[in-house]
Amino acid sequence: MIKRAWTYGMAALAFCYVACDSGRTAGSSMETENSIAVLVQLADGTPAARMDVIVRPESYLSGASELGSDSLFQLHFETDEQGRVVLTDVPSGSYVIEARSDVKNLKGFEKIAYVEADTTTPLTVEVSEPSKVSGHVGLPQLVRRSATVSVQGLDYQVPMDSTGYFEFESLPNGNVEIVAFVSEDETDSITVYGKIEADVGTKSSKKLYLGDSAYVKKYFVFDDFENGADDWKPSASKNAEVKLDVTSAGHNRKGKVAHFVCERDSAADWDWALIGRELGGFVDMSELDSIRFWARGSVKSRISFAFDVLVNNDSVTSADNIKSWRHFEVDTAWTRYTVIPSQLDTADSNGGNVGWDAVKKHVTKISIFGAMGTEVWVDDIEVYGYGIFDPYAPVTKNALKKSDSKKKD
């Protein structure tokens, strides 16, 4: 019955446009009874012409089979040159009406509770540049499958990865409900593990947490460089030089990013340059899940992400500076890299790489090495597995022993 009503509605809409082209005024084309008259415009009131207008029930959840299997949930219309479109013979119900143009990179939506007995119901949808939204889902340990993360009433869905992380590249701005669920294939039903309201387009929507807090893996932003890079110190070998500053992101990223240049002062065979941030003491990173960061280079080159143990006077091992690292090939486009302890390079006899097991319980510094003769940009370093790094001792061997003893107690 509903599907048939929508078919009649689309036919009536087509008839409306024919009548309009035959001499009806602009005003009369927006006054069809039992209809929704939609006006799509920019923030400054400029009409948004030739925008796709998509109507879906507010109950629609993309990726949930029992809600989204019928095509009636995906109804497409288009605005005219004045940004208008009339939706006729709409059944009573609650809907989300989205206007979008991927070519123009504009999106917007409004929610409406419509009663069929109404005459013309006016609705204005404002479109703007969409926003990126990311977050984390917590699933009970017994749930081994990846959850789907969807936006209620809109056709946007993404999977979470092995750490629970999800990211929407392009959502329309406004207040939405984001849902994390797992489909039960055998019963054609879903189990919802988290819901959250997000005000897309505001700072509060950039990092979201869905699910039972008992299962959400701890997470924090180690540095996004929006307040500068004063915590990071550049250093280099005798024959090299490193320059560090903070600049506008550019290249399809917003905000501020760290920018460092690695230069060689001579023809020496081996030089190094890095930026590093000390943690203020020993940090036991045994429970570290992963660290993620964004980076790009001026040319394709190599960078290295390292966990350091630095000791001022009394060494933890025979060396005053030991490391565990992983190398990454960076491109000229922004790319997100993931540092996972199990994927760090194995210990070797050259270069000070002693392996993860040797450093994980007493990391004192995080460093990023850049290749000689290149410049590198870094942004949004995020830590999964901790709510914050909590140094538990001064950087001395004796303090390390006391802290280890305290932890065992």
Predicted pLDDT of residue 4: 28
List the CATH number of the domain containing 340: 2.60.120.430
pLDDT band at 212 (very low <50, low <70, confident <90, very high): low
% of the chain at pLDDT higher than 90: 39
**pLDDT score at 19:** 34
Whether residues 212 and 227 share a domain: the answer is: no
167 and 310, same domain (yes or no): no
Residues 247 and 370 in one domain: yes
Residue 234 reports pLDDT greater than 90: yes
Q: Mapped to the 3 state alphabet, what secondary structure does 338-371 carry?
A: EECHHHCCCCCCCCCECCHHHHCCCEEEEEEEEC
Residue 10 pLDDT exceeds 80? no
Task: State mean pLDDT over 198-205.
Answer: 81
SS (HEC) of the chain: CHHHHHHHHHHHHHHHHHHHHCCCCCCHHHCCCCEEEEEEECCCCCECCCCEEEEEECCCCCCCHHHHCCHHHCEEEECCCCCEEEEECCCCEEEEEEEEECCCCEEEEEEEEECCCCCEEEEEEECECCEEEEEEEECCCCCCCCCEEEECCCCCEEECCCCCEEEEEEECCEEEEEEEEEEECCCCEEEEEEEEEEEECCHHHCEEEEECCCCCCCEEEEECCCCCCCCCEEEECCCEEEEEEEEEEECCEEEEEEEEEEEECCCCCCCCEEEEEEEEEEECCCCCCEEEEEEEECCCEEEEEEEEEECCCCCCCCCCEEEEEEEEEECCCCEEEEECHHHCCCCCCCCCECCHHHHCCCEEEEEEEECCCEEEEEEEEEEECCCCCCCCCCCCHHHHHHHHHHHHC
> Above 50 in pLDDT, residue 150?
yes
Residue 194, domain extent = 131-216
Q: What is the pLDDT of residues 285-302, one digit of tens each?
A: 998 988 999 999 988 888
Q: How confident is the model at residue 100 (pLDDT cuts 50, 70, 90)?
A: very high
Domain match, 347 and 233 both = yes
Shared domain for 61 and 151, answered yes or no, is no
Give the domain CATH number at 204: 2.60.40.4130
Q: Average pLDDT in the 70-88 region?
A: 77
- Strands 233-236, 165-171: pairing is unpaired
Amino acid (one-letter) located at 398: N
Last residue of a domain, one of 158, 187, 216: 216
Strand order in the sheet with 273-283: 233-236, 273-283, 363-370, 301-310, 321-330
Does residue 312 register a pLDDT over 90? no
Closest CA to 392 of 275, 285, 314: 285
Whether the pLDDT of residue 68 is over 80: the answer is no
Asked if residue 244 and residue 339 are part of one domain, the reply reads yes
Domain final position from 216, 239, 258: 216
Q: Which among 98, 126, 154 is the end of a domain?
A: 126
Asked if residue 183 and residue 232 are part of one domain, the reply reads no
Q: Is the pLDDT of residue 53 over 50?
A: yes
Residue type at 132 in one-letter notation: K
Query: Do 246 and 345 belong to one domain?
Result: yes
| pLDDT attached to residue 322 | 85
Kindly state whether residues 211 and 238 are assigned to the same domain: no
Residue 129 clears pLDDT 60, i.e. is over it: yes
Same domain assignment for residues 102 and 144: no
The average pLDDT across 336-355 equals: 85
Given this model, what pLDDT does residue 256 score?
92
**Count of structural domains, the chain:** 3
Domain shared by 29 and 55, yes or no: yes
Indicate which CATH number applies to the domain containing 92.
Answer: 2.60.40.1120
Q: 406 vs 193, which has greater pLDDT?
A: 193
pLDDT for the residue numbered 239:
80
152 and 296 fall within a common domain: no
Whether pLDDT at 3 is above 60: no
pLDDT score for 144: 59
